[in-house]
A and B are shown apart, each in its own frame.
Chain A
Amino acid sequence: MVSLDLLLNAIVAGILLGGFYAAVSLGISVSFGLLDIVNIAHPAFVILGSYTAYAMNRFFDFDPLLTGLLFTPIFYALGEVVYRLYYMGFERKGEESLRGLVFFFGMLFIIEVALLLAYGVDYRMIEARYVGQSFHIGVVGIAFRLLLPCLVGLMVTVALHLFLSKTFYGRAIKAVSQDSQALRLMGVNPVKIKRIAFALSIATASLAGALLILIGPVEPSIGREYIGRVFAIVVLGGMGSISGTLAAAVILGVVESLTSTFSGPSWAPAVSFGILLVVLAVRPAGLFGR
């Protein structure tokens, strides 16, 4: 007999976790879903964000969320550099598929090993006043550690959704994936639009990284666990649909939370892969795909 309290707690924790997963996946949703750039290094950029938050907190006593926000322009610039390299090396020559993947895999590996050299294999965490607190609604306990990342994740999701559907550049980003030729006829340079969109996707990694280190301790290779998660979410969410990404993130969060509550946390990483395989085998267009 499953205890109702346990079940309720697991579901609420899963929904909160889902909000955070959305923040991590948004970048991939833009780069992979909209631009067709398979940036498997995205989780590594998220970890880079976590370590930035860690270092700023350690040496200047900055709040991790403030760091995450302050560093978005720097990550945006980093994203521009990466896209320029990618464009020069692969996209311009039309060789993006195989070699582009290897390029991003190399980036992932370089970031991971560089962080390993700088910080070692130990888990790092941040002590902020609000991290350890929690409150109760009925039998359900809500930890600030999970609530805050969820709220910030939701805000980023809404902001990105508004940007993509209301502004000129946002609409251009959506258009570039569908018909870049038509975009060119409208007097817009598709390469510039792609560069902006890709840089934006990396910029979200700064905030997502700050959220990640709020949720729990971080070490350099933890990004690999997120590769399966983010791609499962993006594919399940229908590739590039922002609201679909959020819904898929919440689904994955709840399933993972239930799994760790009832069969042990060590099984949680397997959930996303199971979902990914089932979606790819049964409905590759995702739940909300066109």
Chain B
Amino acid sequence: MRKTVPLWVMLAVVLAAFLLTRLGGNRYIYFAGYFVLQYIVLATAWNVLGGYTGYVNFGTAAFFATGAYTALALILAFKATLPVQILAGGLTAGLLGLGIGYLTLRLRGVFFSIATLALSVVLQTVVSNWAYVGGGRGLSIIRPKAPELFAGHAEYLFVVMVLLAAGSVALAWWIENSWLGRGLAAIRDNEEAAECMGVPTLRLKLFATTASGFLMGVAGTPFPYYVTLVEPGSVFSLDYAVNSLAMPMIGGTTTWVGPVVGAILLGTAQQVATVTISSELNLLIVGIVLVAFVMLAPQGIVGLVQRLFHRRSR
């Protein structure tokens, strides 16, 4: 019974979001909401690998862009529908994760991190040289009409993103509470000991990299419809790497709650700050907050709250 709980919660959230869009309201809310939700997916995806196993991925932008450019290529080639794009984008990014993981995860974790960091630069080089998807200058696309049920594109993409965010959080919840999660936690705590106890560490790590890459790719697939102008500079922006890592780090990395809390806080703050102060300055603030948290409060907000409650109950 307990196993189906997240499924029902997920459906309820999506239904609520859909009903919300029927009420109308300012379209900017949905536009900004999409931004925050996209980061819930990215932060959750990062945490599946980074938080649960302790392997740091700096290449979020590369996986995100793999999703976005797969979607773009499918739109150009077959005028594929959004569900097809999401599935294909996710699978391609998942395969990319599997490949990178296979090459580097047998070594020390540092090498995986360095490889992901360099991966963004290389994929950006490849895409910038690929004229079909617009090369370095980018490409603008025309969106097809949104389905009848929705008032417009902002509402439609918002509900799609709610579905994706709820789905990835549910997946993270499931991983965390299954034997997979326990294996991953064992790797994080002491990989050698885990290996000796018979935990299939390499296979588990590959699973986590693939799942994490898949979700990051999924987050990127609706991007072409969201911005309509797809150019490498914005898709491969370092902001994705920093944010998707800062959000779980600030929220707390050991449970599925942390990335969600971090994404909502940082994502909303950035949306507000971009409107009120310059966007560079707010990125600078994200960087400083990240360093402060990683040094002073490594358990994140969730950890701080937990500690507070423990002290009270004593």
Contact = CB atoms under 8 A, between A and B. Distances in A.
Nearest to A117: B280
B121 A273 contact: yes
Interface string A14-31: 000000000000000000
Given A99-B298, A117-B281, A270 B110 contact: no
Interface residues of A, number: 44
Interface in A85-138: 85, 88-90, 95, 97-99, 101-103, 105-107, 109-110, 112-114, 116-117
Interface stretch (B24-32, B68-76, B111-119, B263-271): B111-119
A29 B49 CA distance: 28
B287 A106 contact: yes
A227 B117 contact: yes
Contacts of A221: 238
B9 interface: no
Contacts of B122: 228, 269-270, 273-274
A151 B85 CA distance: 52
A231 interface: yes
Interface string B116-130: 011111101110110
A29 to B, nearest CB: 14
B103 interface: yes
A38 B121 contact: no
Interface in B60-116: 103-104, 107, 109-111, 113-115
A95 B298 contact: yes
A173 to B, nearest CB: 20
A276 interface: yes
Given A85-B295, A228-B117, A102 B111 contact: no
A84 B283 CA distance: 25
Contact of A280 (B104, B119, B238, B290): B104
Interface in A263-290: 264, 266-267, 269-270, 272-274, 276-277, 280-281, 284
Interface string B216-253: 00000000000000000000001001100110010000
Contacts of B115: 276-277, 280
Contacts of B109: 97-98
Nearest to A278: B103
Nearest to A282: B103
* Contact-size category for B: 35 or more
Contacts of B120: 224
A110 B244 CA distance: 16
B159 interface: no
Nearest to B288: A110
B1 interface: no
B167 to A, nearest CB: 27
A40 interface: yes
A225 interface: yes
A139 B242 CA distance: 48
Given A103-B294, A281-B103, A273 B287 contact: no
Nearest to B55: A98
Contacts of A95: 298
B56 interface: yes
A102 B253 CA distance: 13
B54 interface: yes
A109 B298 contact: no
Interface in B249-299: 249, 278, 280-281, 283-284, 286-288, 290-291, 294-296, 298
Nearest to A110: B287
B214 interface: no
Contacts of A109: 238, 242, 283, 286-287, 290
B39 interface: no
Given A110-B288, A117-B281, A102 B128 contact: no
B158 interface: no
B58 interface: yes
Nearest to A93: B298
A221 B237 CA distance: 10
21 contacts: A40-B117, A85-B295, A89-B295, A102-B249, A103-B294, A105-B245, A106-B242, A106-B294, A109-B283, A109-B287, A109-B290, A113-B280, A117-B278, A221-B238, A224-B120, A224-B121, A228-B121, A269-B125, A273-B121, A277-B104, A280-B104
Given A98-B54, A117-B284, A284-B107, 13 more contacts: A89-B294, A89-B296, A101-B113, A102-B294, A106-B246, A106-B287, A114-B284, A117-B280, A224-B238, A266-B125, A269-B121, A273-B119, A284-B111
Interface of B: 50, 54, 56, 58, 103-104, 107, 109-111, 113-115, 117-122, 124-126, 128-129, 136, 238, 241-242, 245-246, 249, 278, 280-281, 283-284, 286-288, 290-291, 294-296, 298
